[in-house]
Amino acid sequence: MTEDDTYRKLFVAESIENHENIVKNLLILENGSDETAIDEIFRAAHTLKGMSASMGFDEMETLCHSMEDVLHLIRSGERSVDKDLIDILLACTDRIEEMLDDIESGGDSSSFNSQELTEQLKSLISEENMISGDESKRDSQVNVDCPEQTETYSHHITLTVDETSQMKDIRALFALANLKEIGDIISCMPTPEKLESSESGFSGTMSLYILTDSDEDTIRNAATVSEVTDVTIVPFILSQEVQTEEQVFTDGALNSGENLFKIIITVSKESDLGDVRALIAYQNLADIGHIISSEPSHQDLDDGGNFSGILTVILQSDAGAGALHDAASGVDIQNVLVEPFAEENNTNNTIESGSDAKDSEDGAVNSPEKTPEKTPEKTPKKSKKKEVQNIRVEIHRLDQMMNLVEDLVITGGRLRQIALQYNSKEMDESLNMVSRSVSDLQNLMMNIRMIPLSQIFNRFPRVVRDVAIHDGKEVEFTMTGAETELDRSVIDGLGDPLLHLIRNAVNHGIERPEQRLKAGKNSKGTVALSAWREQGNVVIQLKDDGGGISPDIILSKAIEKGLVAAEQSNNLTREEIIDFLFMAGFSTADEITDISGRGVGLDVVKNAIESLKGTINVESEEGKGSTFTLILPPTMAIIEVMMVRINGKRCAIPIAAVIEVARIDRDAITRIGKSEAIPFRGEVLQIHHLNEMFKGESNGDIVVVIQYKGTKCCIPVDIVEGQQEVVVKPLSNVIGTCKGVSGVTIPGDGDVVPILDVNSMI
């Protein structure tokens, strides 16, 4: 992986977090003014802008900049928050999400034109400017005799990057890019060029001076990027006698007067690359000292302006005059003059530091008549050793580790089989120790793969809002239990089914405000999404207080579509009628919209949940609402099974589906149509022989009774070997899907054993 790919992945990961933060807080802001939400949105947008600018993603940077201008109006109280404003800002976040997808796939976001959104944001700003312009005009007429006296504000910033960070220089550059957006960087140590070099050797502490009219909170927010652990800001006020923005000096250097040098570099007039030669000398000096100011500035030299041939640099360095002379010398350098810097040459440059600043009539700093007092030495801070608390690991590495752990479990089972053959006590003891370690490792890996449901829950508030606005409804959406964890493999397949259920709850379940008021309800409907653990499974419940499900409407639609004969409909239970909702192509919507009515819906949800080895149940009361309950295993990688043999071949039945193992009287078996059944404990159970799968059927009197969603059946088996925990391996892509088989496992003897898919059998 190249260095650019590493930075790109880091940029995308952090930008997704900032994007989600903006969306979440915009929805909070829509419900009422919230200072914390405004600050969070502003900080995230500002960070996105700075990061995209530093990575060269200009289109995203432009859009974020326009968003930030509007957010500044909100933050300052000049612009109120309304639905139209939130709509535009959310549309901007949608475009940013598209850009991030493009960047993640290798693009640069330039293919997305955000000009229309930018213009809409600018129109919001111009409206406020017109209003504020009229107000300021009136104010100026009143205060015409009171001109303002402008002051230039400056700050000295020291930021520290976490010493455990693997990309200290990148973090510092991100912070520097953010600070450039709110002011002019006067000097920086180390320099940006040094940070960008492949061998920067950056220690983690950056010191810089900035000219800005922003307050300290804004500066701190700009400097505080990921892994920046400390930001120290010392304010200064620069008097108007200062001629250039670069004539700012470190307070320690000015007070001590030590190790300050003035270097005058003369470049040969015959040189065709005078500015380049001066830049090289500038960079060489920056490598061995702290450049305080230069004339012309580094930026002017870099821009290739009219260079006069003389570069004057003031810097602080411990290297000595000789080393500075050698560093500044080079090709086309005609003369280098190094001399100690005397503060009296700059008596017009006055710096007042914070509240401790003292007035000086002549503006002199450290005048010869005054003997500078010795500043007591500061006790050096003891550096606290920090340990890495979190690391980013790519998903495919976790998958590889999980596969290796599964192989260890299988190999351990095989070794136990061998130990039984040789009856070795020493080997048994060693295997027991290894088995415990492998079991602990397996549990640890399972916990590492666990992901909180908040990963998918966090995008649903936006979905509810958009669907509610589309349908002209008022909906209050609540979420609980988002911290509940599921295996990554389950989380990956859960997002789309939940998304569809939530859209259905708002679109089909919640009524319009006038209908709710007529029914004696609150005009605003509620949709509640909750999750919790129960008996080793994870339960996710979606509940609404809408109109509920009408069995009569479902039944009439089912008869209309030919799913059931009219004469048979009277014999159906309420649960059987509701089950029609999960049939392919079934929809109760009268007209097709961009949200519903196409008949592609709950059947896909049911199939997706069942593929995750879960179940979905529906409870509904007409006029009061509906509840969809999903019950899911925490992981699909390891399950408990019952090992049995049928016609001499072994298979595994998931314990979760097994009701009991019993003996039957084969003489009691009766034939119903093409299948067989047997009376059992007051019920008639269908018998599945599985003769096609195992090339023959069992003639024994042992059956395993299984159940799915209240329906029972039994499978005749020859032998029940027992219960054990196994690792589930998916079927190979070469083999493809096999009806009745959900996967395979490999026990200790090395056989490949199919795991029955009970859901598809019943």
Per-residue confidence at 275, pLDDT binned at 50, 70, 90? confident
Judged against a pLDDT cut of 80, whether residue 44 lies above it is answered with yes
Give 219-267 pLDDT, tens digit per residue. 888 888 888 888 888 776 543 333 333 343 444 444 444 578 889 998 8
How many CB atoms neighbour CB 758 within 10 A?
21
Q: Which two tokens stand for residue 257?
A: 């007067």
Domains of the chain, start order:
3-128 (1.20.120.160), 153-250 (3.30.70.1110), 256-365 (3.30.70.1110), 395-452 (1.10.287), 454-549+588-632 (3.30.565.10), 638-761 (2.40.50.180)
Report pLDDT digits (tens) over 711-726: 888 999 989 988 887 8
- What is the pLDDT confidence band of residue 65, given thresholds at 50, 70 and 90? confident
Q: Which DSSP category does 384 fall into?
A: P
Give the model's pLDDT for residue 735: 59
> Using one digit for the tens of pLDDT, what is the confidence trace for 524-561?
999 999 999 887 789 999 999 998 888 888 888 888 87
- The closest alpha carbon to 185, from 223, 221, 143, belongs to 223
The C-alpha atoms of residue 357 and residue 370 are separated, in whole angstroms, by: 17
**Main-chain phi, psi angles of 548, to 5 degrees:** 75, -175
Q: Which of 193, 186, 198 is nearest to 284 (CA)?
A: 193
The answer, yes or no, to whether residue 349 has pLDDT greater than 60, is: no
Mean pLDDT of 726-745: 72
* Residue bearing the bigger pLDDT, 362 or 647: 647
Strand order in the sheet with 333-340: 290-295, 310-316, 260-267, 333-340
Contact by Cβ (8 Å): 320, 340:
no
> 267-276, 291-300, 301-310, 465-474 — which one is most confidently predicted on average?
465-474
State the pLDDT confidence band at 376, using cuts at 50, 70 and 90.
Answer: very low
CB 459 within 8 A of CB 90: no
Is the pLDDT at 479 greater than 90? The verdict is yes
Query: What pLDDT, on a 0 to 100 scale, did the predictor assign at position 381?
Result: 41
Q: Which DSSP category does 509 fall into?
A: I
CA distance 727 to 406: 6
Closest to 680 measured CA to CA, from 655, 698, 701, 709: 701
Rounded Cα–Cα distance for residues 634 and 655 (Å) = 15
pLDDT tens-digit series, residues 383-434: 444 455 567 677 788 888 888 887 887 787 778 778 878 887 788 888 888 8
Summary mean pLDDT of the chain? 78
Q: Which two tokens stand for residue 56?
A: 């060269």
From its phi and psi, is residue 181 left (phi > 0), alpha (psi between -120 and 50) or beta? alpha
Cα separation of 296 and 216, whole Å? 30
User: Which residues on neighbouring strands pair with residue 662, listed in sequence order?
Assistant: 703
- Which residues neighbour 14 within 8 Å (Cβ) at sequence distance 6 or greater? 47, 51, 226
pLDDT at 10 over 60: yes
DSSP state of 362: S
- pTM higher than 0.75 for the full model? no
- Asked if residue 715 lies in contact with residue 704, where contact means CB atoms within 8 angstroms, the answer is yes
